[in-house]
């Protein structure tokens, strides 16, 4: 049985940048063992650096956990006098690959031990591999902890890994079974990959969705009056903003109207953005009107006032509305069905617990295998649970400014506001902030973040709408701090349907 590798393929440029890792990846893929192998695993809690990395982590049922450190240099030697490592043309260094492997292994073990004390007692081994170099010199390590080109040529890689794990067994308690390996992989997999690589992949996936929306906008642009329908994550707000930008480029005076209190991305150049209450008090004229009202239908009298400011009015002017309800002017209608923003697992969370009706027929982005994180704190422990969750997100590589804590309750009454008052490094959301920002789900409805934490749920008369709207603000990781009535509000109705 072949190993299961995560990710199952290498990035296209790995062969040029990391030839040693690519070589070992191919050899691991052909091993006849039922292992789970994680490649390029970003490590939190590294002993020396804010963020370390293990080249490969092997989870082997009945054996243990092996951390592999790969050095793809053509030469490797240890100075007998200074004991410095010389690897290719790199500067000599005292901290060699054996020490690096041990430090990475301790980080892996600590991360797993935090989730299950028993996992910390399994055998943990390190193995340094030099696939292209013959090591000249000796050091203070055990024979099974390093293999150079000659040993790799003479021995099967699976035998070297098993030898390292057998050597690590002395003093260890217990062995992982298949269920342990599966659970440990679930803990480690969300950290898979280097943070810049994940950000690049995320941007490429979102760009694909935006390219499709641009084609849709091109096709719909000849309709002077358009009402857009669709579920959260489909791109209604994107269409309003980019249609407004296009109108401004054509020389039109463009206005976007949003619900009161809505937080907004940077307004398109040449476009005026007003909340609904501001727009009703103003009397300036516009040539193009965009209404990004989400799930809120504007009252008829408000529509009358807005259209009175539009050149041509509701029947002769140019406008686009992303809101439910009946509108004057006999607009064309467009329904966006595909979720282009959210990853599959947060999307499934929003669909199931938020009772999305109708559901998305498709979620465009590929599965990153990271489950939705959850915390179920006891009464009085919610601030501690939030602090722990934020630390976990930082450990996964998310910068503070990439994390949004969104509450079902108004922001001043939220868990995040109480946590900020207690000294946690959070602040009300602001553009370009480098601090973890917090806001209400409703106010944040036109924004998105790489990592989203949902709190204070359920709240208000429409808890399912809050949940599905909040969950679809995430373009990466989703986490939830469940309140005391979360189970009965969201899960029990699902179980009894």
pLDDT tens per residue across span 189-203: 754 444 556 777 889
Q: Which of 36-45, 279-288, 460-469 has the lowest mean pLDDT?
A: 36-45
Clarify whether residues 251 and 270 are in a common domain.
Answer: yes
Identify the band that residue 492 occupies on the pLDDT scale cut at 50, 70 and 90: low
Average pLDDT value for residue range 407-422: 97
pLDDT of residue 17: 74
Q: Which of 53-62, 223-232, 239-248 has the lowest mean pLDDT?
A: 53-62
Residue 401 pLDDT greater than 90, yes or no: yes
Residue 49 pLDDT greater than 80, yes or no: no
Clarify whether residues 219 and 140 are in a common domain.
Answer: no
Which contiguous run of DSSP H or E holds residue 291?
Answer: strand 288-292
Residue 48 pLDDT greater than 60, yes or no: no
Query: Which residue is associated with the tokens 């900020």?
Result: 420
Residue 280 pLDDT greater than 70, yes or no: yes
Give dist(CA 71, CA 405) in Å, integer.
40
Our measurement of the distance from residue 440's CA atom to the centroid of its chain's CA atoms, rounded to an integer in Å, reads 20
Which contiguous run of DSSP H or E holds residue 279?
Answer: helix 276-281
Structure token pair of residue 100? 């690096």
pLDDT of residue 364: 94
pLDDT of residue 265: 83
Instruction: Tell me the pLDDT of the chain averaged across its residues.
Output: 87
**Bond into 433 cis (ω within 30):** no
Q: Which of 192, 217, 250 is the last residue of a domain?
A: 192
Average pLDDT value for residue range 349-356: 92
Q: Which of 301, 336, 371 is the last residue of a domain?
A: 336
pLDDT of residue 50: 39
Clarify whether residues 165 and 227 are in a common domain.
Answer: no
Identify the band that residue 53 occupies on the pLDDT scale cut at 50, 70 and 90: low
Q: What is the CATH number of the domain that holds 150?
A: 3.40.1350.10
pLDDT of residue 233: 94
Which tops the pLDDT comparison, 91 or 17? 91
Q: Are 257 and 292 in contact (CB under 8 A)?
A: yes
Helices 236-249 and 195-220, axial angle in degrees (round to 10): 60
Clarify whether residues 364 and 324 are in a common domain.
Answer: no
Clarify whether residues 152 and 33 are in a common domain.
Answer: yes
Average pLDDT value for residue range 316-345: 91
pLDDT of residue 328: 87
Q: Are 27 and 19 in contact (CB under 8 A)?
A: no
pLDDT of residue 14: 65
Which tops the pLDDT comparison, 399 or 487? 399
For 368, the domain range is: 344-496
Structure token pair of residue 475? 């373009």
Clarify whether residues 260 and 230 are in a common domain.
Answer: yes
Q: Are 229 and 334 in contact (CB under 8 A)?
A: yes
Q: Which of 274, 302, 336 is the last residue of a domain?
A: 336
Our measurement of the distance from residue 131's CA atom to the centroid of its chain's CA atoms, rounded to an integer in Å, reads 34
Identify the band that residue 455 occupies on the pLDDT scale cut at 50, 70 and 90: very high
Clarify whether residues 211 and 179 are in a common domain.
Answer: no
Structure token pair of residue 108? 């892996």
pLDDT of residue 12: 55
Clarify whether residues 182 and 203 are in a common domain.
Answer: no
Clarify whether residues 152 and 268 are in a common domain.
Answer: no
Kindly tell me the number of DSSP H helices and DSSP E strands found in the chain. 17, 21
Clarify whether residues 205 and 328 are in a common domain.
Answer: yes
Q: How many distinct structural domains can be found in the chain?
A: 3
Q: What is the CATH number of the domain that holds 221?
A: 3.40.50.300
Residue 336 pLDDT greater than 80, yes or no: yes
Average pLDDT value for residue range 412-434: 95
Helix, strand or coil, per DSSP, at residue 412: helix
pLDDT of residue 94: 84
Q: Radius of gyration of the chain from Cα atoms?
A: 27
Identify the band that residue 42 occupies on the pLDDT scale cut at 50, 70 and 90: very low
Which tops the pLDDT comparison, 469 or 90? 469
User: What's the first-to-final CA gap in the chain, in angstroms?
Assistant: 40
pLDDT of residue 172: 65
Helix (H), strand (E), coil (C) string for 17-65: HCHHHHHHHHHHHCCCCCCEEEEEEEECCCCCCCCEEEEEEEEECCCEE
Clarify whether residues 132 and 182 are in a common domain.
Answer: yes
Average pLDDT value for residue range 29-37: 89
Q: In 354-459, which residue ranges form alpha helices assigned H by DSSP? A: 382-395, 415-421
Percent of the chain with pLDDT over 70: 90
Clarify whether residues 23 and 143 are in a common domain.
Answer: yes
pLDDT of residue 312: 96
């Amino acid at each position: 049985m072949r190993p299961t590798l995560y990710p199952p393929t290498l990035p296209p440029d790995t062969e040029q940048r990391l030839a040693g890792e690519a070589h070992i990846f191919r050899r691991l893929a052909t091993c006849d063992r039922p292992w789970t192998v994680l490649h390029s695993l970003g490590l939190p809690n590294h002993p020396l650096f804010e963020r370390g990395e293990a080249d490969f982590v092997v989870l082997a049922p009945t054996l243990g956990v092996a951390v592999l450190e790969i050095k793809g240099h053509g030469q490797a030697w240890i100075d007998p006098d200074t004991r410095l490592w010389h690897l290719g043309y790199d500067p000599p260094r005292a901290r060699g690959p054996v020490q690096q492997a041990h430090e990475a292994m301790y980080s892996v073990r600590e991360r797993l031990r935090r989730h299950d004390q028993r996992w910390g007692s399994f055998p943990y081994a390190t193995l340094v591999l030099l696939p292209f170099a013959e090591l000249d010199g000796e050091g203070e390590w055990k024979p099974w902890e390093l293999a150079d080109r000659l040993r790799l040529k003479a021995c099967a890689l699976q035998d070297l890994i098993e030898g390292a794990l057998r050597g690590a067994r002395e003093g260890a308690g217990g062995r992982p079974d298949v269920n342990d390996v599966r659970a440990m992989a679930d803990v480690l997999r969300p950290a898979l990959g280097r943070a810049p690589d994940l950000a690049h992949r995320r941007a490429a996936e979102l760009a694909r969705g935006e390219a499709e929306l641009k084609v849709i906008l091109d096709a719909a642009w000849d309709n002077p009056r358009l009402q857009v329908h669709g579920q959260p994550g489909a791109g209604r707000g994107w269409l309003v903003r980019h249609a407004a930008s296009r109108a401004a480029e054509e020389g039109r005076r463009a206005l976007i109207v949003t619900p009161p209190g809505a937080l907004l991305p940077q307004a398109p150049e040449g476009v005026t953005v007003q909340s609904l209450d501001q727009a009703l008090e103003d009397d300036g004229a516009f040539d193009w009107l965009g209404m990004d009202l989400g799930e809120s239908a504007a009252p008829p009298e408000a529509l009358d006032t807005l259209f009175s400011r539009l050149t041509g009015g509701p029947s002769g002017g140019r406008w686009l509305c992303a809101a439910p309800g009946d509108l004057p002017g006999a607009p064309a209608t467009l329904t966006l069905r595909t979720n282009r923003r959210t990853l599959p697992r947060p999307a499934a969370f929003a669909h199931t617990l938020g009772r999305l009706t109708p559901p998305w027929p498709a979620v465009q982005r590929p599965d990153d295998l990271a489950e939705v994180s959850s915390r179920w704190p006891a009464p009085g422990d919610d601030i501690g649970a939030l602090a722990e969750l934020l630390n976990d997100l930082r450990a996964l590589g998310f910068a503070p400014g990439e994390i949004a804590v969104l509450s079902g309750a108004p922001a001043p009454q939220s868990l995040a506001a109480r946590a900020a008052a207690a000294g946690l490094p959070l602040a009300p959301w602001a553009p370009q902030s480098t601090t973890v920002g917090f806001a209400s789900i409703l106010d944040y409805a036109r924004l998105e973040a790489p990592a989203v934490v949902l709190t204070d749920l359920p709240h208000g008369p429409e808890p399912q709408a809050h949940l599905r709207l909040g969950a679809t603000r995430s373009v990466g990781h989703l986490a939830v701090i469940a309140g005391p009535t979360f189970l009965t509000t969201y899960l029990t109705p699902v179980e009894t349907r």
